Amino acid sequence: MTEHAPLIIDVAGTGLSDTDRRRLAHPLVGGIILFARNWQDRAQLLQLTAAIKAVRHDLLICVDHEGGRVQRFRTDGFTHVPPMRALGELWMNDGKAGQGSGALRAMDAATAAGYVLGAELRACGVDFSFTPVLDLDWGESGVIGDRAFARDPRVVAMLARALMQGLLQAGMANCGKHFPGHGFVKADSHTEIPIDRRSLKAILAEDAAPYPWLSTVLTSVMPAHVIYPKIDARPAGFSAKWLQDILRGRLRFDGAIFSDDLSMEGARRLDGQVVSYTDAGVAALNAGCDLVLLCNQSLEGGAGVDELIAGLATAQAQGRWQASAASEARRLALLPETLPQPWDDLMVQPAYMHALDLLP
């Protein structure tokens, strides 16, 4: 049987229980996503990440750490990275220096933000952050809001590329989200299913435009829990048309595809019905996702996590989904290839100190 560890799960506390270790050791589990509840201070986080790697060295330790309001670790020395909109505003503010200088300053600041973000996380044993947001700031979506760089897809692509360069300097991969775009719709997919009724031509010309422009640097993508009924009746994360025909085929993306959180309302309502975590996971994998996330279900005993692990194993044995060597290779490619810099060394590194000075 082909090895493929598609599940990204979480844990309830600041350390690992025996149950956590059992779940993380399961061959279908490929990583863990951390939240603010898993944070106490840097020493504790370093102990937690070391304990995770002691279970399996190839587990991908992830976090949603974008800057602005989506930043899980905020104390004990972690830099408060500005929201991405601040970089877009810097782009538009040329001041007295002449046309174009604002854009160049913004790109330098974006690279600095990526480096600071990535280097601080890696110094604490975190491998990967789900960033940057490539959604356009249409002024409609409350859940996206200032997480977006700008309204113009060209500005978004350039600033995202600069931020990815900073992540790369820190030895960290990247994740463009939420394909093909979440910024046009008002509804929050955490609690309902947003519907975007535009045509494929309109979406590719605007919201999805950064994806092919970033094809040489984008290492992973997270699709939106949004339905685009003129393209497919299913949300993008469960749509083979979006993930295989358009993202992989038309746009030629060859990196990893993550599902968004399967516990979200928008993630489990398929064809008009709310389905189980297992059925949602199978649907995402069959649509073209390499990895699936289940967040915040380790709380109160973690029945949902155990249900998904057991259910996915049974579904695999029944032939309802097939393990993919290519998907596993894409997961492993997201792991850092270099050793992280210890925190105390990082704090006095000239490149890091310079990057701090460049943040808006």
Q: Which residues are marked as active site?
A: 190, 260
Q: List, in sequence order, every residue forming a beta bridge with 292; answer none if it has no partner.
A: 7
**241 labelled binding-site residue:** no
Nearest to 312 by CA among 32, 1, 29: 29
Distance CA 271, CA 111 (A): 41
What is the CB neighbour count within 10 angstroms for residue 184? 24
**197 labelled binding-site residue:** no
Burial 199-235 (b: 16+ CB within 10 A, else e): ebeebbebbbbbbbbbeeebbbbbbbbbbbeebbebb
| 232 DSSP assignment | -
Nearest to 175 by CA among 31, 301, 73, 75: 31
H or E element: which one contains 221? strand 220-223
Q: List, in sequence order, every residue forming a beta bridge with 60; answer none if it has no partner.
A: 31
What is the CB neighbour count within 10 angstroms for residue 337? 7
**105 labelled binding-site residue:** no
Q: What are phi and psi of 261, to 5 degrees?
A: -55, 120
**42 labelled binding-site residue:** no
Cα dihedral across residues 286, 25, 73, 62: positive or negative? negative
**53 labelled binding-site residue:** no
Class of residue 80 by CB neighbours under 10 A (exposed 0-12, middle 13-18, buried 19+): exposed
Q: List, in sequence order, every residue forming a beta bridge with 63; answer none if it has no partner.
A: 34, 129
| Annotated binding residues | 64, 72, 147, 177-178
| Annotated binding residues for substrate | 64, 72, 147, 177-178
